[in-house]
Amino acid sequence: MPFLCAVLGLYALQPATAAPDAKRIQSLVLKKADGYFFTSASCMYSLDIGGVDPSTVTVYMNTIPEHVELLSIKKEAYIPASPAEGEGTGTHIEVSVRFSKSGDYRLFPLDVQIAGRFYTLQFENVHVYENAQRISPKLSVDVASPYVPSGTKTLSVEAGEHIIFTVYIQYAVQVASLSWTIPENSLFKEIRRYDMAGNAVHPDFSPELCPLVMFDWQPLSAGTYTLPAVEVSATAYNGALTDMEFPRYTVSVRPAPVAQADAAKSSFAAEAGAAFEPPAGLVQELAAVPLSDADLDMLAQLHRAERRRFPLAFLWGRDAVKERRAAEERFGLQPGAPSAGVPLFFMLLVAAVLCAVLAAFFAAAKKMPAAVLSAVLLAACAAGAVASGVLCARHYALCRGGPLFPIPEKNATGLAVVRRGSRVRVLDTAGGWVYVSLLDTFGWIPAAEIVPIE
């Protein structure tokens, strides 16, 4: 009897074990332990139950969904990081599964018995991606609205309209090459190139779309086309170099409508960002005695001779500028400013090289005044060569006379009449048309209506 009383007394002195908080436990969710889940790979869910000793926990998983294989269930003790997770030793549970098919999954609840009481704990919803070693890089395109109706790959635009589109890449480590072919009868230019299009390397898996490059495409003729294809090669996660297929978009281009001149002006100004209000004196009637084709060719030859003239050549021979101006006055044209001479560019370039050699020689000989003078002359000649080279690189032509169009369509309303024999600067070419500037006015002229000045 005394022994029984002692045992009961010792039992009474032991601290009572607090019952688990059933509401807290029932609210727990098994969450994925990895950033992404992939097919044919071990994928782990985990859960911490604070304040519950592992010896009192039993875990069951009685129902397995289709395309899911249970690999293992493990429990172990852990020490909670904060009192809010419970006091004393907690239980860490890991459930490893393998998915055979990609898609969205939510596993059936996990049955857990704690100190004789049963709970059903939910699994987090997850998306399972195809195994990264088997994924090939993909391209996608985002075309600015309103050209593409939602859910379609068909565009409908008018000739001369701008189509802005961005190319995206997915599931790629690095882009190896990026190229494209400029479509016929259109203007096509790169607006922006993103980091992924350079030498950026992304070894870690990501399902996000990465922008590559943005383009501006302007089809100029009516018809049915496809969106200009961009050729991209990229390295996949398994190290393979892949040539990607570009998404196919059908583009229906309607003829530009014939509008009143004022409407055409405002439309083109909105598209191109330039006003087509001609300066005073630009729009003129054709000459009373128009230049013949032979006269136009002769005038073009004078312009070419002017570009090839040597500096100060008029002192001992032919004055190309004076001859050209005299011819323009004879035909009733406004004489233009002198053109940049190509020989002057080469002379300045040679002079800059000689000054560089002299500056280096005098510096080595420790003749600093001469070296400084040579360096100053070098800077002046180099600056002159750059300025002259920029002017010589410009392309000019003589116009045979006719209207200047806001868009490269003959049925568009002309904005101005360019006098026959006028010199225009050629800025671009597309589909049998040239984009030119004359003073402060810009527009399109058929290529057959100009005589190039080489």
With CA atoms as reference, report the closest residue to 215 among 168, 146, 160, 164.
164
Instruction: Write down the pLDDT at residue 276.
Output: 39
Q: Is the CB of residue 300 less than 8 Å from the CB of residue 451? A: yes
Q: Work out the angle at residue 149's Cα, subtended by the Cα atoms of residues 143 and 150, and round it to the nearest 5 degrees.
A: 90
Ordered by where they begin, the domains of the chain are 17-132 (2.60.40.10), 136-254 (2.60.40.10), 293-340+394-453 (2.30.30.40)
Residue identified by tokens 């280096």 is 360
pLDDT at 183: 75
Which of 9-13, 181-185, 304-308, 347-351 has the weakest average pLDDT? 9-13
Residues 20 and 85 sit within 8 Å (Cβ to Cβ)? no
Q: Give me the mean pLDDT over the 51-66 stretch.
A: 89
User: What local confidence, expressed as pLDDT, does residue 346 receive?
Assistant: 87
Burial degree of 264 (CB within 10 A; 0-12, 13-18, 19+):
buried
CB 408 within 8 A of CB 429: no
What's the pLDDT at 274? 40
Phi, psi of 113 (to 5 degrees): -110, 120
331 band by pLDDT with thresholds 50, 70 and 90: confident
pLDDT score of 30: 93
The closest alpha carbon to 424, from 450, 391, 393, belongs to 450
Q: Please report the pLDDT score of residue 288 as a whole number.
A: 39
Integer Cα distance of 378 and 423 in angstroms: 34
User: Which of 49-53, 220-224, 339-343, 383-387 is predicted with the least confidence, judged by mean pLDDT?
Assistant: 339-343
175 vs 344: which has the higher pLDDT: 175
Residue type, 446: P
Strand 110-114 with 57-60, pairing: antiparallel
CA 180 to chain centre: 13
Once rounded to an integer, what is the mean pLDDT over residues 144-153?
64
pTM for the structure as a whole: 0.54
Q: pLDDT band at residue 380, thresholds of 50, 70 and 90?
A: very high
Token pair listed for 20: 């688990």
pLDDT average, residue stretch 61-84:
87
Per-residue pLDDT for 5 more than 60?
Answer: no
Question: Could you count the other beta carbons within 10 Å of the beta carbon of residue 289?
Answer: 9
CA distance 33 to 185: 55
Q: What is the pLDDT of residue 312?
A: 64
Among 425, 427, 344, 336, smallest CA distance to 388 is for: 344
Is residue 436 a contact partner of residue 396, using CB atoms and an 8 Å limit? Answer: no
pLDDT at 279 over 60: no
Cα distances (angstroms) measured from residue 318 to each of 158, 309, 325, 344: 52, 9, 13, 16
Q: Which residue in the block uniquely carries the two structure tokens 């005589």?
A: 451
What's the mean per-residue pLDDT of the chain?
A: 81
Phi, psi torsion values for 353, nearest 5 degrees: -65, -45
What is the average per-residue pLDDT within 57-62? 90
Q: Is the pLDDT of residue 240 over 60?
A: yes
What is the distance between the alpha carbons of residues 165 and 179, in angstroms, rounded to a whole number? 15
Average of per-residue pLDDT across 360-370: 90
Mean pLDDT calculated for residue range 95-115: 93
| Segment 22-45 mean pLDDT | 91
pLDDT at 320 over 70: yes
Residue pLDDT, tens place only, 70-81: 999 999 998 877
User: Mean pLDDT across the stretch 406-428?
Assistant: 81
Nearest alpha carbon to residue 302 among 385, 391, 390, 396: 396
Of 31-40, 174-183, 256-265, give the lowest mean pLDDT range.
Answer: 256-265
Question: For 120-125, what is the mean pLDDT?
Answer: 93
Annotate 64-118 with DSSP letters as a single string: --TTEEEEEEEEEEE--SSGGG-SS-EEEEEEEEEESS-EEE-PPPEEEEETTEE
- Please report, rounded to a whole number, the percentage of residues in the chain having pLDDT higher than 90: 29
The helix or strand, by DSSP H or E, that contains position 324, with its residue range, turns out to be helix 320-330
Confidence band for 264, pLDDT divided at 50, 70 and 90: very low
pLDDT class of 325 with cuts at 50, 70, 90: confident
Looking at residue 70, what is its pLDDT? 94
